[in-house]
Amino acid sequence: MNLTIDQGNSSAKVSVFDGNDMVAVARFDLLSISALARIIKSYGVNAAAYSSVRRPDARIIELLRKRVKKFICLDHNTPLPVVIDYDSPCTLGQDRVAAAVGAATCAPGRNVLIVDAGTAVTLDIVTADGHFLGGNISPGLHMRFEALNNYTSRLPLVDYNGEVPLIGHNTVTAIRAGVVGGLVSEIEGYIDKIAAKMGNDLVVIVTGGDSNYLASRLSRQVSVVGNLLSIGLNRILIYNENI
């Protein structure tokens, strides 16, 4: 039984795999050592992979090193089943690495564009022969809404719940139309450019907290894989167990 921990900016996702099959998943705003210990005991976990976009939690690392036979704290030195063609691999976010491996696992032999819609939005490319080329990073939906509120004196804080017209007809709908419509257009424009470069058989996988909302607004067919990073971490763990 394998355990993966995907520590994001706002929450942690803990998943348990029996081989390649996910058998349990839980999300925590704050992952406690006691909760993690219960999961390890309940499922008889004997291998674990941990990825964090923040500073890794030393208590989690200590617990996993003590309680499981095989432990990987993902970093730029971890052996991977994909090739990283990135100029600065030591600065590459481990969430982007895990998502790339997850995409190569879900769509083997295909060029894949990964749209990870979380606190930030990343758009990354994995080639059909398993090379991570890099990609783009931009503010996510909530960051954009908060920026308009924080950096102006009179614009209210808005979220994406509600009408999103093509043309805003009051301040609230103008903000919502600008933020949501702007991000959707940004993603669609990037998809079109990458498809023109790599072929229209490009696979687009959308993941992250806002994946369902954004995917429903995209005009191109995409696949929503909510557990893409967990799948990638499990694949990295299995890869390292076999080398």
Annotated active-site residue in 6, 29, 95, 210: 95
pLDDT at 207: 97
pLDDT at 206: 98
State how far the Cα of 136 lies from the Cα of 30, in Å rounded to an integer.
Answer: 28
pLDDT for 86 beyond 90: yes
Tokens of 240: 């390292």
pLDDT for 200 beyond 90: no
State how far the Cα of 108 lies from the Cα of 90, in Å rounded to an integer.
Answer: 26
56 or 114, which is more confident?
114
Tens-digit pLDDT profile for residues 126-158:
999 999 999 999 999 999 999 999 999 999 999
pLDDT at 54: 87
Element (H, E) at 174: helix 171-198
pLDDT for 173 beyond 90: yes
pLDDT tier at 219, thresholds 50, 70, 90: very high
Do the strands 47-52 and 112-117 form a parallel or antiparallel pair, or are they unpaired? Answer: unpaired
State the CB neighbour count (10 A cutoff) for residue 199: 11
pLDDT at 242: 84
Do the strands 203-207 and 223-224 form a parallel or antiparallel pair, or are they unpaired? Answer: parallel
Is 87 part of the annotated catalytic residue set?
Answer: no
Percent of the chain with pLDDT over 70: 100
pLDDT for 243 beyond 90: no
Over residues 7-31, the mean pLDDT reads 94
Judge contact between 98 and 104, C-beta under 8 A: no
Question: Hey, is 46 helix, strand or coil?
Answer: coil
Tens-digit pLDDT profile for residues 233-242:
999 999 998 8
Tokens of 64: 């996993």
